Amino acid sequence: MPDSTAPHAAVPPAPPQLPSRPWPQRVPVLIAGGGPVGLTLAALLARQGIASLVVEADDGYCAGSRAICMSRRSLEILGWVGADQRTVDTGLPWVGGRSYYRDAEVLHFRMPSESGERFAPMVNIQQYYLEAFAHEAALSGAAPADVRFGARVRAVRQHGDGVVAEIETGDGVVQVDAQWLVACDGGRSTVREQLGLRMEGTQYEGRYVIVDIVQKTRREVERLAWFDPPSNPGSTILMHRQPDDIWRIDYQIRDDEDPEEAVKPENVLPRVQSHLDMIGETEPWQPLWISIYNAKCLTLQDYRHGRVLFAGDAAHLVPIFGVRGLNSGLDDAGNLAWKLAWVLRGDASDSLLDSYSAERVHATRQNIAYGAKSTEFMAPPDFAFRLMREATLRLAQHDSAVRSLINPRQSAPIAYDSSPLNGPSDFGDDGPDAAPGMPAPEARVAGASGIGHLTQCFGQAFTLLYFGEGPMLPEPLAALVQAHPDTLQARVIVSSIGVSGEAALADVAGQACARYGAQPGTLYAIRPDGYVLARWREPAWDAVRAALAPLMQTGARHAS
Q: At what angle do helices 72-79 and 36-47 cross, to 10 degrees?
A: 40
> Residue 541 and residue 535: Cα distance in Å, rounded?
12
Q: Is the dihedral of CA 209, 212, 215, 219 positive or negative?
A: positive
144's enclosing H/E stretch is: none
**Nearest CA-CA partner of 427 in 524, 509, 545, 495:** 524
Give residue 435's Cα distance to chain centre. Answer: 22
Would residue 550 count as lying in a domain?
yes
Counting every residue, how long is the chain? 560
Would residue 517 count as lying in a domain?
yes
Domain boundary among 347, 376, 405: 376
Q: Are residues 70 and 181 in the same domain?
A: yes
Return the pLDDT at 10.
54
Q: Are residues 437 and 510 in the same domain?
A: yes
Q: Is the dihedral of CA 495, 500, 503, 505 positive or negative?
A: positive
CB 408 within 8 A of CB 321: yes
Q: Are residues 62 and 151 in the same domain?
A: yes
Domain boundary among 345, 376, 407: 376
Give the model's confidence band at 557: pLDDT under 50 very low, under 70 low, under 90 confident, else very high: very low
Mean pLDDT, rounded, for 273-288: 97
Would residue 421 count as lying in a domain?
no
pLDDT in tens, 452-467: 999 999 999 999 999 9
Tell me if residue 544 falls in helix, strand or coil: helix
Mean pLDDT, rounded, for 95-107: 94
Return the pLDDT at 498.
62
Return the pLDDT at 127.
95
Return the pLDDT at 3.
62
> At residue 532, what is the residue type?
V
Mean pLDDT, rounded, for 500-510: 85
What is the average pLDDT value for the chain, to the nearest integer?
92
> At residue 222, what is the residue type?
E
> At residue 158, what is the residue type?
Q
Tell me if residue 190 falls in helix, strand or coil: helix
Q: Are residues 233 and 290 in the same domain?
A: yes
Residues 6+ apart with CB under 8 A from 264: none
Q: Are residues 520 and 505 in the same domain?
A: yes
Structural domains in the chain (count) = 3
Return the pLDDT at 402.
87
pLDDT in tens, 361-391: 999 999 999 888 888 888 888 889 889 999 9
Would residue 436 count as lying in a domain?
yes
Would residue 522 count as lying in a domain?
yes
pLDDT at 12 over 80: no
> Residue 333 and residue 164: Cα distance in Å, rounded?
22
Domain boundary among 253, 275, 296: 296
**Nearest CA-CA partner of 327 in 147, 141, 125:** 125
pLDDT at 560 over 50: no
pLDDT in tens, 61-89: 998 888 899 999 999 999 999 999 999 99
pLDDT in tens, 34-44: 999 999 999 99
Q: Are residues 289 and 323 in the same domain?
A: no
DSSP 16: -
Q: Are residues 260 and 144 in the same domain?
A: no
Q: Are residues 148 and 45 in the same domain?
A: yes
Q: Are residues 165 and 44 in the same domain?
A: yes
> At residue 374, what is the residue type?
S
**CATH code: domain of residue 496:** 3.40.30.120
Would residue 174 count as lying in a domain?
yes
Domain that holds residue 250: 202-296
Q: Are residues 171 and 253 in the same domain?
A: no
**Nearest CA-CA partner of 353 in 322, 309, 317:** 309
CB 395 within 8 A of CB 101: no
Residues 6+ apart with CB under 8 A from 233: none
Would residue 419 count as lying in a domain?
no
Would residue 215 count as lying in a domain?
yes
Q: Are residues 191 and 258 in the same domain?
A: no
Q: Are residues 189 and 302 in the same domain?
A: yes
**CATH code: domain of residue 249:** 3.30.70
